[in-house]
């Protein structure tokens, strides 16, 4: 066990984020932490690294955080540059200082033992060599070259000072340092940001093969599907563990919720039935004891709670365009795009209803192409043409950074003054601006809120041709899934720039691919793209890390009227009734024993979260109770006779 966290709460200011945390990292587990924006994922990582302390608890149950001795943890946010003038190669090689010192000491020990053999020195050398091997000392040069080139840097970049690199490049440099430091626990917080698809694919293999533990916080669901072995979800201030990748987690969560809901409904139905029986017989002298027993059964039940509502608030809008376009939406012919120089050239056509994604590396011109066909930039060569009745709606990140001191309500209404306040609120409500949220200043909105406001403005126009540039930036997974559903339902045409491969895989029918060799139109979906380019685009990361309650159906009477007693031979009829009464009492005693057995299993803590078994037990208990009620009704009828 590398880390164990128990009985722990964390807060942000006065707001509790997660309560009663139970979390552990074992051996080489690859762990994903998921949850909505603001749920506490990053704060939890700070707890693990010791940057913050847990909340103090009253009483004896104090927070419990255990870490293995000598544990090393590496987190991208903690990777810093001490000297802006240091050249790139020297800065990255700083991560090898510990193994360089080990190698120096090992060489010293070899020289000393050559002249004078010593058991203590031999033992020290063996321990050092084991640690040196564990930290990758023997292959540090090869690892450096591979990771360095994989993140898009050239040999010429090694001698450039850090100050010359862009923000995105500096993030990659910090990432390289983190990977090469090879900590016992590698913490990746949104690792796929700033990476192109081929590098992300390579990183997936790297993480899978990494011989130590990894903790991942990411909105990239495909990355989580391909790397995670365990998922911890933060929802409703609770942390829950699921075994498997992201898809396994979503499936298991849905199943557990359905099972818990089923068990909850069955138990509530049983409580109502027991209460009805008790109410019916409580005032009858011969049945008062039985009625009280029913009430005790209710009191002694281990109550199954209704499942909490999942945090699924997500935006929505009308997805039918106001006007239908013609069959030909966009046609390009030798379209050259760029600013002061041409970044690429392409010819392609877009038909009505098609959904096309533009994918590829950073800085290659994806957004520039979209701006050009949206009319925001002039073509450098060639031409493009819209078809009949095409009404475009364009979104990019600059629009999402829009600022002013108006309220959300006023800002939206100024663009659509013909809407009533109720209509405006309804539209904003579809994008999660409800209640007092509509009075927030635009300047004070988060990145995700600004994206939602910009999209709300676009969807109110109900265009028939959407051109979207990275619409999922700043969105959490629930928001991304909501946008996917909207785009799938959208009845118009879509041209989309995104790094979200899950979105591409789910929505796009065709692709425009930006690569080192240029830009090309690919008339198939993302799965076909991976099949076609998979081997070329992804290198193996191994390069880096070489109860059973059977009863006779004859004893379970159907609910029906008891036959009228025969008038002939009263003595014989009386004896028959008496025998039946005795048999019914025997059956009720047997039922009591069966119920006691089932109730014990329901109360067993080992079954507390096994909602499938609890549901089956509750169903069996209901059947026994139904038969018991039938026995009682027949018994009462015979007694009255």
Between 517 and 276, the more confident residue is 276
- Mean local confidence (pLDDT), 367-384: 94
Distance CA 441, CA 402 (A): 12
Q: Smallest Cα–Cα separation from 224: which of 38, 480, 512?
A: 480
Banded pLDDT at 200 (limits 50, 70, 90) = confident
Do 1-72+183-236 and 328-543 share a fold? Answer: yes
CA 218 to chain centre: 8
Q: Would you place residue 47 in the very low, low, confident or very high pLDDT band (cuts 50, 70, 90)?
A: very high
Domain 1-72+183-236, classified CATH 3.40.50.300, yes or no: yes
Beta strands at 15-25 and 30-35: parallel, antiparallel or unpaired: unpaired
Contact indicator for 229, 29 with CB cutoff of 8 Å? yes
Q: Which stretch of 451-455, 546-550, 597-601 has the lowest confidence by average pLDDT?
A: 546-550
Give the residue-averaged pLDDT of 359-378. 90
| Highest mean pLDDT: which range of 327-341, 437-451, 586-600 | 327-341
Distances (CA, A) of 120 to 103, 125, 130, 481, 630: 18, 9, 16, 61, 84
161 DSSP 8-state letter: B
Question: Strands, DSSP E only, in 51-136?
Answer: 64-67, 73-75
Top-tier CATH class for 328-543: alpha beta
Average pLDDT, whole number, for the chain? 84
Which of 213-227, 356-370, 597-611 shows the lowest per-residue confidence on average (mean pLDDT)? 597-611
195 or 457: whose pLDDT is higher?
Answer: 457
pLDDT in tens, 381-408: 999 999 999 999 999 877 767 778 899 9
Q: What is the mean pLDDT of residues 186-201?
A: 82
Q: Are 333 and 347 in contact (CB under 8 A)?
A: yes
Distance CA 601, CA 566 (A): 45
pLDDT of 167 > 90? The answer is no
Q: At residue 595, does pLDDT exceed 90? A: no
Q: How confident is the model at residue 554 (pLDDT cuts 50, 70, 90)?
A: very low
Percent of the residues in the chain that have a pLDDT greater than 70, as a whole number? 91
pLDDT band (50, 70, 90) for residue 546: very low
How is the chain split into domains, by residue range?
1-72+183-236, 80-175, 251-308+549-640, 328-543
* pTM of the predicted model as reported, rounded to 2 decimal places: 0.67
Say what the pLDDT of residue 79 is. Answer: 65
pLDDT single digits (tens) 470-480 = 888 878 788 88
């Amino acid at each position: 066990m590398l880390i164990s966290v128990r009985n722990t709460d964390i807060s942000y200011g006065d707001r509790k984020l997660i309560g009663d945390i139970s979390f552990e990292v074992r051996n080489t587990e690859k762990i994903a932490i998921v949850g909505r924006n603001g749920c506490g994922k990053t704060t939890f990582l700070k707890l693990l690294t010791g940057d913050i302390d847990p909340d103090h608890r009253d009483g004896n149950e104090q927070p419990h955080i255990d870490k293995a001795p000598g544990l090393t943890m590496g987190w991208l946010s903690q990777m810093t540059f001490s000297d802006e003038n240091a050249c790139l190669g020297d800065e990255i090689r700083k991560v090898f200082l510990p193994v360089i010192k080990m190698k120096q000491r090992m060489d010293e020990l070899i020289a000393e033992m050559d002249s004078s053999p010593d058991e203590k020195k031999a033992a020290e050398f063996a321990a050092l060599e084991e640690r040196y091997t564990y930290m990758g000392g023997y292959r540090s040069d090869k690892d450096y070259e591979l990771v360095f080139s994989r993140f898009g840097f050239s040999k010429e970049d090694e001698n450039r000072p850090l100050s010359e690199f862009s923000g995105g490049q500096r993030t990659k440099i910090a990432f390289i340092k983190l990977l090469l430091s090879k900590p016992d626990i590698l913490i990746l917080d949104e690792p796929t940001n700033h990476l192109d698809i081929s590098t992300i694919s390579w990183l997936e293999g790297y993480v899978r093969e990494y011989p130590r533990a990894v903790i991942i916080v990411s909105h990239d669901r495909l990355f989580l599907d391909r790397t995670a072995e365990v998922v911890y979800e933060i929802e409703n201030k609770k942390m829950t563990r699921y075994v498997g990748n992201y898809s396994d987690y979503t499936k298991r969560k849905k199943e557990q919720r359905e099972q818990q809901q089923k068990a909850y409904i069955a138990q509530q139905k049983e409580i109502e039935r027991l209460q009805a029986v008790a109410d019916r017989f409580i005032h009858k002298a011969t049945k008062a004891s039985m009625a009280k027993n029913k009430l005790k059964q209710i009191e002694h039940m281990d109550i199954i709670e209704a499942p909490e509502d999942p945090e699924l608030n997500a935006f929505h809008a009308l997805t039918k365009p106001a006007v239908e376009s013609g069959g030909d939406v966009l046609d390009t012919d030798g379209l050259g795009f760029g600013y002061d120089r041409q970044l690429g050239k392409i010819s392609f056509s877009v038909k009505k209803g098609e959904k096309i994604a533009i994918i590829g590396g950073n800085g290659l011109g994806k957004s520039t192409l979209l701006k050009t066909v949206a009319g925001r930039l002039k073509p450098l060569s060639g031409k493009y043409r819209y078809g009949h009745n095409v009404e475009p709606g364009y979104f990019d990140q600059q629009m999402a950074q829009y600022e002013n001191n108006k309220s959300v309500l006023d800002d939206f209404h100024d663009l659509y003054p013909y809407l009533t306040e109720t209509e405006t609120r309804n539209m904003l409500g579809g994008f999660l601006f409800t209640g007092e949220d509509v009075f927030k200043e635009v300047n004070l909105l988060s990145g995700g809120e600004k994206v939602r406001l910009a999209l709300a403005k676009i969807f109110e126009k109900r265009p028939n041709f959407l051109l979207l540039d990275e619409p999922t930036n700043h969105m959490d997974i629930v928001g991304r899934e909501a946008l996917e559903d909207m785009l799938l339902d959208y009845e118009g045409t879509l041209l989309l720039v995104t790094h979200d491969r899950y979105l591409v895989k789910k929505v796009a029918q065709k692709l425009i691919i930006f690569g080192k060799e240029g830009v090309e139109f690919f008339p198939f979906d993302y799965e076909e793209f991976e099949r076609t380019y998979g081997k070329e685009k992804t290198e193996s990361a191994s390069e880096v890390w070489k109860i059973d309650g059977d009863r006779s159906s004859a004893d379970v009477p159907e609910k029906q009227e008891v036959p009228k007693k025969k008038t002939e031979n009263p003595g014989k009829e009386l004896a028959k009734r008496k025998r039946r009464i005795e048999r019914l009492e025997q059956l009720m005693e047997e039922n009591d024993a069966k119920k006691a057995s089932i109730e014990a299993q329901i109360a067993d803590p080992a079954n507390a979260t096994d909602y499938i078994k609890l549901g089956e037990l509750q169903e069996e208990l209901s059947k026994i109770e139904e038969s018991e009620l039938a026995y009682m009704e027949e018994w009462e009828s015979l007694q009255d006779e």
